[in-house]
Amino acid sequence: MAHAQRIEFSKDLESLRSFLPSLLGVMGRSPDWYPSIWFERKLRRAFSASLKNTDVTHSRTAGLVLRIYDGRTLHEFATESLEPGFLIESARRFSDRILNARGTAVGPIRTYMAPSWTERLRGISEREILEQIPSSPGADTPVHFGIKYQKDPRKLADSDVIGQLKETLGRMRRTAQRAGLAESELNYAAARAGLALEESMFIDREVNLSQSLFRVSVTAVAMSGSNRTVHQEGGLGGLEAIEIPDQPIQDMMSDLHALKAAARIRPGRYRVLCSPDISGVLAHEAFGHAQEGDTCARGRSKAWELHQAGTRVGNEHATILNNPALFENAGKPWAAWGSYFFDEEGWISNSQMLLDRGLLRAPMTNLTSAIRLGVPRTANGKRESWANGVYTRQTNTYFSAGDKTFQDLLQQLGDGFVATQSAGGMEDPKGMGIQVGIAWLKEVRNGEYTGRVFRGPAGGDINLTGFVPDVLNAIEAKSKIEWDTEEPDSARHPWNDTGGCGKYHKEFVHAGCGGPWMLLNGVSLG
């Protein structure tokens, strides 16, 4: 195994880092304001090889956000221009505008001051974070966090990436034939890769933070007619995170073959064994979104009321966590997709229990929702890009692991379905409904696969829906993290898959979601 290293802070950003603290002085026009700065830069290479085309694209986006919280409102001015003269003038005009509007603002003032290092590190135990912080850091101490990697993505030439994608494409075509698909039946196949270096800085009067992450992914897509199967590998780390073994490609092609004869499910209630991918979507939509502090502060989440009332909303298996500090993914040496060292408002990452055996804990927060709700800050302030606003967002959301192997669960399922491929989801934080999309279902009788595959009643995806507490009370059992062996788990956290998340219908961000295999009894499918 190659020796692990951490990404260093890019040298070409050092002059910007030295300059930015001076803007805090320009913005700090009132002693009770909380000024801060967020900067991000994303350098990405994207590749695609299909049966007909090969594409290569390089992109570089960068932008800076000037922020002032004045006790009532978080004001932001975001720009792509990093020219110092422009930024000083913008900071001056920005703070002038807030000063001039002071008389028209309404509501009580809740003053907030930049938290100290001591406050930010309270409760942090993740070694991967603590190891990178120098002893006794001060406001002027530049603290950098770099993601660990073994194989440097920057050293892989474009031509080599394309070569690897074409090799994957070749494997897909060969495997398709072995799975029983004639060459003409594989009408579309593509392999795609994304290699990105994402860097960011957060600066206020108490901290000067930076982080550098490699975000790497590879995706295989195959189609036969309108049937489609997909497999994605990825994470935050080096190229070791995007090697596609043969097994998932074999699974893709045998699923594609089976889908040609898929039957349509009759709407009803069934026993379902959900893959980690789908149990993650369930966690994310159930008490991920409902536990977003800004949704609570807006009066739009039932979870806030249920948390305060101490109402039980699930059984003993219903434990959900959110954790941006997943620097090993189910024992694999790369970070889960939604991980980072600090959020976009400068709060240090930590694991958080959202639902503990059916009882709701305090919500995740961004800055303004923590202030409004009077609950602790968590590292969940995220935005789609520097040009978008910040909200409370999930990072990696998952159910805790159980004690069964997959074979145990299959036996316990008896008659029902196994769901392996997710197809989106949607939250309903106030109404407590849930929608979890499932691309297809594999039928099981007496604990064994029958070979039959089912799609939705109209031939499309299947939706698992219901009232969230009912669904969380329907959890019958969960698998271990290492579900294919009876040995005790060696990994600390369950697997989290690559994914994306919208806030209702917009503001798309990266998010990981996962957990164990999970057996649900009597849930509605249609």
Q: Tell me which residues in 149-168 interact with another protein (CB under 8 A).
A: 158-159, 162
* Dist. CA 335–CA 235, nearest whole Å: 6
Cβ at position 522, least distance to another protein in Å: 13
Interface with another protein in residues 398-437 (CB under 8 A): 423-426, 428, 430-431, 433-435, 437
CB-nearer residue toward another protein: 240 or 428 = 428
CB-nearer residue toward another protein: 165 or 475 = 165
**Which amino acid would we find at residue 476?**
E
Is 309 a binding residue for another protein by CB under 8 A? The answer is: no
Is 139 a binding residue for another protein by CB under 8 A? The answer is: no
Cβ at position 12, least distance to another protein in Å: 10
- The crossing angle, in degrees rounded to 10, of helices 158-178 and 246-259 is 50
Interface with another protein in residues 213-252 (CB under 8 A): 223, 225-228
From the number of C-beta atoms within 10 Å of its C-beta (0-12, 13-18, 19+), residue 205 rates as middle
CB-nearer residue toward another protein: 74 or 511 = 74
Cβ at position 473, least distance to another protein in Å: 16
DSSP states of 214-230 as a string?
EEEEEEEEEEETTEEEE
**Which amino acid would we find at residue 294?**
D
Cβ at position 484, least distance to another protein in Å: 31
Cβ at position 506, least distance to another protein in Å: 7
- Could you tell me how many residues of this chain bind another protein (CB under 8 A)? 89
Look at the block and give the residue holding tokens 């305060």.
Answer: 308
Helix/strand/coil for 217? strand
Is 55 a binding residue for another protein by CB under 8 A? The answer is: yes
CB-nearer residue toward another protein: 291 or 368 = 368
Interface with another protein in residues 254-273 (CB under 8 A): 267-268
Residue from the set 8, 52, 245, 246 that interacts with another protein by CB under 8 A: 52
Interface with another protein in residues 314-333 (CB under 8 A): none
Rounded (5°) CA angle 87-93-94: 80
Cβ at position 355, least distance to another protein in Å: 20
List beta partners, residue 270. 523
Interface with another protein in residues 459-478 (CB under 8 A): 459-463, 465-467
Cβ at position 155, least distance to another protein in Å: 16
Those residues whose C-beta lies under 8 Å from the C-beta of residue 401, and which sit 6 or more positions away, are 478, 479, 480, 481, 489, 494, 515, 516
CB-nearer residue toward another protein: 105 or 130 = 105
From the number of C-beta atoms within 10 Å of its C-beta (0-12, 13-18, 19+), residue 136 rates as exposed
* Dist. CA 386–CA 344, nearest whole Å: 9
| Sign of the Cα pseudo-torsion (293, 297, 302, 306, in order) | positive
Helix/strand/coil for 239? helix
Question: How large is the C-alpha radius of gyration of the chain?
Answer: 24
* Six-digit token string for 133: 């912080």
The answer to whether 471 touches 269, Cβ cutoff 8 Å, is no
Interface with another protein in residues 487-526 (CB under 8 A): 504-508, 524-526
Residue from the set 177, 385, 407, 490 that interacts with another protein by CB under 8 A: 385
Identify which range of 199-207, 355-363, 385-393, 487-495 contacts another protein by CB under 8 A.
Answer: 385-393
Site string for another protein, 185-204 (x = CB under 8 A): --xx----------------
Is 210 a binding residue for another protein by CB under 8 A? The answer is: no
Closest C-alpha to 231, from 213, 254, 215: 254
Beta strand pairing status for 416-419 and 268-274? Answer: parallel
Q: SS in 3 state form for 29-49? A: CCCCCEEEEEEEEEEEEEEEE
Is 14 a binding residue for another protein by CB under 8 A? The answer is: no
List beta partners, residue 68. 35, 75
Interface with another protein in residues 60-89 (CB under 8 A): 60-63, 72-83
Measure the N-to-C terminal CA separation of the chain; round to a whole number of Å. 46
Cβ at position 118, least distance to another protein in Å: 28
Cβ at position 334, least distance to another protein in Å: 26
Interface with another protein in residues 15-34 (CB under 8 A): none
Interface with another protein in residues 101-120 (CB under 8 A): 105-108
CB-nearer residue toward another protein: 305 or 486 = 305
